[in-house]
Amino acid sequence: MKDIVYKIINSKRNKWIITLIVLISMGAAVMMIPTKLVLARMLPGKSANTMTIYVDTATNASSQETQSVTTCIVNYLKQEREITDMEVYLGQGAPLDYAGLVKGSALKRLKNQAEIVLNFTNKNDRDEATYMMAHRLRPHIEKECGDIVPHTSIKFTEMPAGPPTLATIVVELYNPDANALRKMAAQVANILEDTEGLVDVDVMQDDIYTKYNLVPDKEKIILSGLNVEQVNQIIYLAFKGMPIAEKNTKNQQDQIPIFLRLNEETRVVEADTESSLLSKLVSLELMNDKGMMVPISEVVKIKSAESSPTIFRKNLKNMVTITAECDMVSQVYPLLEAREKMLEVLKTDYNMSKVPGINTYMFDLIAVDKKTGDEILIRWDGEMKVSLDTFRDLGGAFIAALVLMFLLMVVYYKSFALSGIVLIGSFLSIIGVIVGHWVTDKISLYAADTHFFLTATSLIGFISLMGISARSSLLLIDFSKSLIADEGMEKKEAIAVATATRAKPIMLTAIAIILGSLLLATDPIFGGLGIALIFGSIAATLVSLFFIPVLMDNARALMPDEHQFDDGERKGTWCILTDNLKSLFPGKKEKKREHTAHEDTLLYEGYECEETDRTTWCTLIDNIKSFFPDKKEVKDDEENLVQTKDTLHYEEAKRKEEENNVKWRTTLIDNVKSFLTKKSETKADDKNKMTLSTMIDKVKSFLNVKTEDEVDNAYEKAKAERDFINLHNMGNKQFQKRDLDKAIESYEKALKIKEDKGTSFKLELAKVQKEKEDKKKQAEKDDKKDQDKTEEDKPKKDENKDTLDSKKEKKSKKKKDDKEE
């Protein structure tokens, strides 16, 4: 394993091959969903022990007509061996079950409504699931019993695997005008019936039929000697029936009502026409107060009118609902197909537009009638709405998990690159999740002729798998960093060793997950969760062992903080740009250790190359310019000439400045010496002369300290740069080429400074020493001359002294004489 991983990360070609394989696999896996190789659904069908058949005949159908339909269905189902018993609920709903909670079973009270409850043998004892039986029986029952009564709807209602809805596909139409809604509902229902995969299409709207009102003629009733109330009660009693008396019982205190109406043959009208009703009324007569028989047809008028349909409202808006069920397919694909057909078919009569925005109602349409201008909202609801809400919530949970994992990794590693590697390794497990569903779907089609869907439980398995797969990447990164930092191992070798060492625990973890998920894979509801864990673990293991090492090798953050990189280890352009942007916000950097170059050794510990002090933005601009090495600017000859002149001018100015400094120091020395020499002329002893020489030497040394220190510092730096060069020449390739060039340049410059400064200092020192010797010799000559002159002038001084004394005596004597006078 170590050799395989090392061979991959040690070759750029192999790393590119692995990267391309992962990218192609990722793209191919994601494209399986829109290409329908993997079908998505909220939840798969659930095999239960019961199933209900809803029967809705025409709105004006009688209970006998509804019963004829239910009897036909029951007779056909008697031949099914898996059905143990059946119950028929005529004119009412069956006892509430999980599906009937939202399907309105408790509200059924009409004569055209009925429910048939089917009970099957135990689902574990039979091979055929209930949804497979519904798929097989539906077309036969529709053919045998669907045409007995016009406008009959027969719907097979299975126990839902997830949240119950009114139907799998629900289309809601909103408009204040009932006629506009009825017209649109008929067109939408036809489109749904023509869509492959949709069955049991039903419009939840009352049929409009002709009804006949019997209106009593009060004038004729009074003239005939009859009573208006009497006429109404008799008509109601004849056709509808009513209690006319009560019978007492011996054993109970309750009274039993006596219900009276005409028999079936007498009260049934032969046809739905006004003439048929009139002929029936002619046969009915009433006795007036004079004992005469009066036909009811003489005192009653027949008026025909349209029925008043039930008005359905939702959110204070008039609406019509169209429902449909999916037959062994996901609701997503028939819905999209039907929606496209609506846009194509309805555009002849309506101006169609889509509702803008991305939300759970993003499939809604708006139709504006070209003639009347009525605006109708076509809204998709049902299981599709629940699916969108669920996938939205799971998507939000998935994004939240990604963000929290990334923040946790950033806090742990203090690196965005390593945190990104962990997330990439976790996210790529989706390759195995999608491919696993494709493989399982093919097996399911071959074995049971049913599709295996990518469901909400599959996404739950993928989200839970992210935490498991992230652990493998963490193991590799931590172990590699430990080998590099503690063992001093080379980066590529450390990654290979870490991968080979951690391969066994990673694979054992994956095997444990696979074996533990096998039981889940056989469940019809949580099978997606098991398949996601099994195949996702396989994909995550392969990614961790072969692709994560490639990303780790390209990550500079894997190396210690004090590590330096050469150009060969640089990352891509955008990664460098990202690092430079991050450098604009530096955190608390550790203080660099101070190093002293007091030993002239080839290699010494802790040396760090100094970088040119520049602002962050200047450095960033230089780095951005370096991203495009092929686009170099060609300098003109004039620019080169100007730069050359500027360089020569700068060197000449610098040389003049150094000469002025030397002249200034020489002048200062001469001034101090002359001042001290003049002062020393008043003192002729040798001790003062020694003090003068000492002071001159101190002044010279003081004036030359700065220059010598600069030379020494430059020389020490040159030694450090020389060691840097020698270290690079010995084979350490961890230094950048630009640092090497900089070191060579600094070293050559320092040597030149050392040579120039040393020569200048020696010349200046020799000049000062020569001047000192000349001054000393001149001083000795001057002292000797002064001594000889002193000896020659001594008698003259004595003689001058006597003359001065005689003059004083003469002057004092003259003053005394003047005083006496």
* H, E, C per residue of 647-684: HHHHHHHHHHHHHHHHHHHHHHHHHHHHHHHHHHCCCC
pLDDT of 639 above 60 = no
Helix spans in 571-636 (H): 573-582, 616-626
Instruction: Report the pLDDT averaged over residues 797-814.
Output: 56
Are 390 and 451 a contacting pair, CB within 8 Å? no
Count Cβ atoms below 10 Å from residue 815 Cβ, excluding itself.
9
CA pair distance 688, 315, nearest whole angstrom: 117
pLDDT of 353 above 50 = yes
pLDDT of 210 above 80 = yes
Instruction: Report the pLDDT averaged over residues 473-499.
Output: 85
Of 555, 181, 518, the residue nearest 379 (C-alpha): 181
Instruction: Report the pLDDT averaged over residues 385-395.
Output: 80
Query: Residue 71: pLDDT band by 50, 70, 90 thresholds?
Result: very high
Are 290 and 225 a contacting pair, CB within 8 Å? yes
CA dihedral 736, 740, 746, 752 (to 10 degrees): -170
Write the single-letter amino acid at 54.
Y
Pair of tokens at residue 492 = 């590529």
More confident residue, 220 or 566: 220
The CA-based angle 628-632-633, given to 5 degrees, is 135
CA pair distance 616, 454, nearest whole angstrom: 51
Are 302 and 212 a contacting pair, CB within 8 Å? yes
CA pair distance 387, 170, nearest whole angstrom: 13
pLDDT of 597 above 70 = no
More confident residue, 479 or 658: 479
pLDDT score of 520: 84
Q: pLDDT averaged over the chain? A: 76
CA pair distance 97, 118, nearest whole angstrom: 13
pLDDT score of 88: 93
pLDDT score of 298: 87
Pairing label, strands 210-216, 300-306? antiparallel
pLDDT score of 355: 80
Query: Residue 679: pLDDT band by 50, 70, 90 thresholds?
Result: very low
Q: What are the residues whose beta carbons fall under 8 Å from the beta carbon of 97, sequence distance 6 or more?
A: 50, 52, 105, 159
Q: What are the residues whose beta carbons fall under 8 Å from the beta carbon of 168, sequence distance 6 or more?
A: 324, 325, 326, 331, 382, 383, 384
Q: What share of the chain is helix, strand, coil (3-state, %, to 5)?
A: 60, 15, 30
Are 498 and 553 a contacting pair, CB within 8 Å? no
Helix or strand (DSSP H, E) at 172:
strand 169-174
pLDDT of 766 above 60 = yes
Query: Residue 754: pLDDT band by 50, 70, 90 thresholds?
Result: low
Of 593, 645, 582, the residue nearest 616 (C-alpha): 582
CA pair distance 36, 438, nearest whole angstrom: 10
pLDDT of 591 above 60 = no
Query: Residue 393: pLDDT band by 50, 70, 90 thresholds?
Result: confident
Buried b (16+ CB within 10 A) or exposed e, 683-710: eeeeeebeebeeebeebbeebeeebeee
Instruction: Report the pLDDT averaged over residues 483-505.
Output: 86
CA pair distance 536, 514, nearest whole angstrom: 9
Report CA torsion sign: 10, 14, 16, 22.
Answer: negative
Cβ-in-10-Å burial (0-12, 13-18, 19+) of 677 comes to middle
Query: Residue 791: pLDDT band by 50, 70, 90 thresholds?
Result: low
Query: Residue 89: pLDDT band by 50, 70, 90 thresholds?
Result: very high
Greatest C-alpha distance within the chain: 208
Give bridge partners of residue 118 from the DSSP assignment.
51, 86
pLDDT of 507 above 60 = yes
157-161, 302-306, 579-583, range with greatest mean pLDDT: 302-306
pLDDT score of 535: 92
Instruction: Report the pLDDT averaged over residues 50-78.
Output: 91
**135-139, 371-375, 736-740, 795-799: least confidently modelled range:** 795-799
pLDDT score of 73: 93
Instruction: Report the pLDDT averaged over residues 147-162.
Output: 86
Name the percent of the chain lying above pLDDT 90: 12
pLDDT score of 811: 61
More confident residue, 270 or 701: 270
pLDDT of 534 above 80 = yes
Dump pLDDT digits (tens) for 647-677.
Answer: 555 556 556 666 666 565 566 556 655 554 5
Sheet containing 50-56: order of strands: 83-90, 113-120, 50-56, 153-157
pLDDT score of 86: 92
SS3 50: strand
What phi, psi does 402 have (nearest 5°)?
Answer: -60, -45
Half-sphere exposure of 560 (CA within 13 A, CB side): 13
SS3 770: helix
More confident residue, 561 or 352: 352
pLDDT score of 387: 79
CA pair distance 101, 164, nearest whole angstrom: 8
CA pair distance 280, 276, nearest whole angstrom: 6
pLDDT of 360 above 80 = no
Helix spans in 224-375 (H): 228-239, 264-267, 274-282, 296-299, 332-345
More confident residue, 132 or 609: 132
Write the single-letter amino acid at 524.
P
Tell me the Cα Rg of the chain: 55
Query: Residue 444: pLDDT band by 50, 70, 90 thresholds?
Result: confident
Pair of tokens at residue 362 = 């993003």
pLDDT score of 164: 77
